[in-house]
């Protein structure tokens, strides 16, 4: 998944008088958040104005969780996960529309028809590059002389973002490395949003020469499994690929179906790519559906490192 710094770098490259990047003017940002219905938890990184007078009430917002658009009475959102799996082409007068491979059509008439296609193109190229690299790397993690993994790069970063792993005290290893390495010394991870520590804790010296287990070994859970049939919305949002919109959709559909039977059923419902379904399978389970929906409390049971 694209990081905030990577999205910002692309947006910064193409900023103009109709495409704002940090700092985004307060009035335009406020109008866009209301008009596009951007959730408070989202960080708006780039904002393309689609209005004549510069109000940004019609706009395209490139956010931490995806792309939001509102123009010509239409409103939509595209998560970065779906963006990765869709192809698109430009149509219309002066290429003022983008047509996605799933049939979705976005019209950015009124915006900078030269800049917006370039932003989409660069983000797509970067997304393809990251996905290609991340999908082939398997990371193992050592904490307190215990080993966890393997995890794809995106999964490892997600665990750190959710507070399940403390980047200040972990060692990592992947195929090709001769020994366990502190997080801060791994360049491909160090370019991510979270920066590792400057000093090593004493306990790491005891585990530096540990040999990684094979993929066949049992992976120990770092936090309670999320029950897809009964968990609360907050807990569902802990899973990779689950957004506020798709989480609400999942809750609605599980009530209609009286629970899901397989993880694949959930993946098909949310149109998730296979690698996302696999990550959810590692972090979730399916208990019998309860109408009352007690919900787990995984968020409150995060391991305190």
Residue 36 sits in the same domain as residue 122: yes
Residue 148 sits in the same domain as residue 177: yes
Q: Which of 134, 155, 190 is the last residue of a domain?
A: 134
Q: Is residue 245 part of a domain?
A: yes
Lowest mean pLDDT among 23-32, 135-144, 163-172: 135-144
- Examine the pLDDT at 210 and tell me if it is beyond 70: no
- Do residues 139 and 212 lie in contact, with contact meaning Cβ atoms separated by under 8 Å? no
The CATH number for 263's domain is: 1.10.150
71-94 average pLDDT score: 81
Q: Which structure tokens are listed for 290?
A: 């309860």
Residue 71 sits in the same domain as residue 172: no
Distances (CA, A) of 287 to 98, 270, 295: 42, 19, 11
* Confidence (pLDDT) at 246: 87
Q: Which structure tokens are listed for 304?
A: 């305190």
The single residue listed with the structure tokens 């049992």 is: 218
- Do residues 38 and 66 lie in contact, with contact meaning Cβ atoms separated by under 8 Å? no
The Cα diameter of the chain in Å comes to 65
Range of the domain at 286: 226-301
Count: domains in the chain: 3
Q: Is residue 98 part of a domain?
A: yes
Q: Is residue 213 part of a domain?
A: no
Q: Which of 118, 134, 150 is the last residue of a domain?
A: 134
3-state SS assignment for residue 280: helix
Start-end of H helices in the chain = 4-13, 26-35, 80-84, 115-134, 153-161, 187-190, 233-236, 244-257, 263-269, 274-283
The full DSSP string for 38-85 is: --TTPPEEEEEE-SSSS--SSEEEEESSEEEEEETTEEEEEEHHHHHT
267-271 average pLDDT score: 88
Split at pLDDT 50, 70, 90, the class of 44 is: very high
Q: Which of 133-137, 149-153, 215-219, 269-273 has the highest mean pLDDT?
A: 269-273
Dihedral sign computed on CA atoms, order 126, 129, 134, 135: positive
Read off the pLDDT of residues 101-147 as tens digits, 9 standing for 90 and up: 888 888 888 887 788 888 999 998 887 776 555 556 788 888 877 88
Distances (CA, A) of 127 to 73, 83, 123: 29, 8, 6
Is pTM beyond 0.85? Reply is no
Q: Which structure tokens are listed for 135?
A: 């999908």
For residue 75, give the nearest of 48, 30, 38 by alpha carbon. Answer: 38
């Amino acid at each position: 998944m694209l990081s905030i710094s990577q999205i910002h770098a692309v947006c910064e490259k193409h900023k103009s008088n109709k495409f704002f990047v940090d700092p985004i003017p307060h009035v335009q940002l406020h109008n866009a958040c209301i008009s596009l219905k951007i959730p408070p938890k989202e960080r708006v990184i780039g904002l393309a104005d689609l209005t004549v007078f510069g109000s940004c009430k019609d706009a395209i917002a490139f956010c931490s969780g995806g792309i939001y658009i509102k123009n010509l009475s239409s409103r939509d959102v595209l998560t970065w996960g779906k963006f990765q799996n869709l192809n698109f082409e430009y149509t219309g007068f002066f290429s003022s529309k983008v047509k996605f491979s799933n049939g979705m059509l976005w019209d950015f008439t009124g915006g900078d028809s030269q800049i917006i296609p370039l932003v989409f193109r660069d983000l797509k190229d970067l997304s393809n590059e990251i996905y290609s690299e991340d999908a082939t790397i398997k990371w193992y993690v050592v904490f307190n002389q215990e080993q966890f993994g393997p995890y794809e790069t995106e999964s490892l970063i997600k665990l750190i973002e959710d507070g399940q792993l403390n980047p200040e005290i972990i060692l990592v290893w992947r195929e090709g490395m001769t020994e366990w390495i502190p997080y801060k010394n791994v360049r491909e991870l160090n370019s991510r949003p979270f920066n590792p520590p400057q000093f090593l804790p004493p306990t790491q010296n005891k585990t530096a020469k540990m040999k990684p287990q094979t993929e066949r070994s049992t992976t120990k859970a770092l936090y309670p499994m999320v029950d897809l049939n009964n968990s609360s919305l907050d807990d569902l949002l802990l899973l990779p690929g689950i957004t506020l919109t798709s989480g609400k959709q999942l809750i609605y559909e599980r009530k209609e179906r009286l629970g899901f039977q397989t993880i694949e059923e959930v993946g098909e419902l949310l149109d998730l790519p296979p690698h996302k379904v696999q990550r959810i399978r590692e972090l979730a389970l399916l208990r019998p559906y309860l109408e009352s929906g007690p919900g787990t409390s995984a968020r409150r049971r995060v391991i305190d490192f």
